[in-house]
Amino acid sequence: MSSAPADLTIAQAASALAAGDLSSVELTEASIAAMTAARNLNAFITETPELALERAAESDVRRGHGESAGPMDGIPIAVKDLFCTEGVLTTAASHILDGFVPPYESTVTANLRSAGAVMIGKTNLDEFAMGSANVTSYYGPVKNPWRAADGKDRVPGGSSGGSAAAVSARICAGATGTDTGGSIRQPGAFCGIVGMKPTYGRCSRWGVVAFSSSLDQPGPMARTVKDSAIMLTAMAGHDPKDSTSARVDTPDFAAAMTGDIRGLKVGVPAEYRIDGTPAEIDAMWHQGEKWLRDAGAECVPISLPHTKYALPTYYIVAPAEASSNLARYDGVRYGLRMPGASLDEMYANTRGAGFGSEVRRRVLIGTYVLSAGYYDAYYVKAQKLRTLIAQDFKMAFKQVDVILTPTAPSSAFVIGERLDDPIAMYLNDVFTVPASIAGLPGISVPAALDQSGLPLGLHLIARPFDEATLFRAAHALEQAANFTARPVLVSEL
């Protein structure tokens, strides 16, 4: 084995474990050491080294008996602290969930555990997954392991910023994230890793702390497209406990990556060419087209005419659902409870102290758009627009197999920037939100460095439940981009 354990991808680590070159305990010890050394990134809310080593030892025993559970068996991963984990603190990065230790396991993390994956800890995120920079967490901001020439700390993206930072910093080869409007793909781009949002319904939401129930979707974060495919195969599957879980088979997504995209039709939407987009992002997008053409694909101009309405639609639908979902946090049954002279006062005091400013802002927006007199003007109109946006994609996919766009309108920005301008922060999701609104699978692949030396990502979108084609196209893009850069901080740890 030529690489250090922390440098191995999931696929490489699985091969090393199968060959007996490495034990899961050794691999897990390397991840724990990297996690400890990189605490300055604030990527983790809860570390679980003892539990990790126990599960790693169990994996080694299974392997010794010839009972390996598959390519994830014995692989250390991080889990976004939005997934309920039995016996392990689950906070959603919010003060209001202080001390909440679930007596049950989310379906996705249970699936990964059944596949033999080893959880090393719970990663930091924007509070209740509401944010694009991982700066709204009660536990403080996460630092992106990448540094520009100015040496300033950058955001890792959000809301799955802790997971993205952990994978990028070589703490672990894979991590779970959730994507509501771009919360896997945008941090993937900011941290120079692969971030993949499956089709809505592909992965169960049961046991995932809810933000926006019609949009939330768990997915994998890894350093390569193949690793993302391996992880998704282990995570996905129909779940009768989730009424929105799709009754579809889970293929071996990694096996679908044939390397051949000849004849594939790639749509390039005119509406994603937005005024003010940095020239280097536009140049990367054109380069992505060339890479796919050189691999045998055909690039076709397409139109998604309702794209400009996607962001305002999202910021009505998501807060409306959040205001409903977060009503359960009342200080009565679990988590934080602040005293009050009456029940109503206790509710108000608990929520006032327990929710951060961004969560309060979105709950207020959501309550407003659902209120009498405004429901038809805002929420109903947003749902109609959502249908039109989905129809745009449906029409486009009659002509093309995948759609190519940039992932984000910028590279990672400095921590503290845009905090006083929520609209500027929301615009981070301008390229990722449309696919979320339509429930489509999307993936961000690291493609280039900007002039400051920070990573940029290219984004592919596919038909519902056609993740196999998405991975095939993304793998071709990854091969052409040959993105080998890594964060400077890793060498300093």
Tens of pLDDT, residues 422-434: 777 777 899 999 9
Structural domains present in the chain: 5-265+399-492 (3.90.1300.10)
436 is catalytic: no
- DSSP reduced 3-state for 447: strand
Per the DSSP assignment, residues forming a β-bridge with 194 are 222
* Residues 140, 150: Cα–Cα separation, whole Å: 22
- Annotated catalytic residue, options 137, 163, 183, 228: 183
Per the DSSP assignment, residues forming a β-bridge with 217 are 179
Answer yes or no: pTM beyond 0.85: yes
- Residues 176 and 187 sit within 8 Å (Cβ to Cβ): no
Tens of pLDDT, residues 71-121: 999 999 999 999 999 999 999 999 999 999 999 999 999 999 999 999 999
| Peptide bond between residue 159 and the one before it cis (omega within 30 degrees of 0) | yes
80 is catalytic: yes
183 is catalytic: yes
| pLDDT score, position 493 | 39
Tens of pLDDT, residues 131-172: 999 999 999 999 999 999 899 999 999 999 999 999 999 999
Element (H, E) at 44: strand 44-47
Q: What is the CB-side half-sphere exposure of residue 195 using CA atoms within 13 A?
A: 41
| pLDDT score, position 489 | 54
* Residues 373, 122: Cα–Cα separation, whole Å: 42
DSSP output for 146-214:
---TT-PPBP--SSSHHHHHHHHTTS-SEEEEEESSSTTHHHHHHHTSEEEEPPTTSS--TTBPPS-TT
- Annotated catalytic residue, options 24, 80, 94, 436: 80
| pLDDT score, position 1 | 45
Helices (H), 38-101: 49-64
| pLDDT score, position 490 | 47
**Residue 2 contacts by C-beta under 8 Å, 6 or more apart in sequence?**
none
- Annotated catalytic residue, options 23, 159, 168, 410: 159
Tens of pLDDT, residues 43-67: 999 999 999 999 999 999 999 999 9
- Residues 145 and 451 sit within 8 Å (Cβ to Cβ): no
Segments of the chain with pLDDT less than 70: 1-3, 489-493
Hey, what are 365's tokens? 């927006």
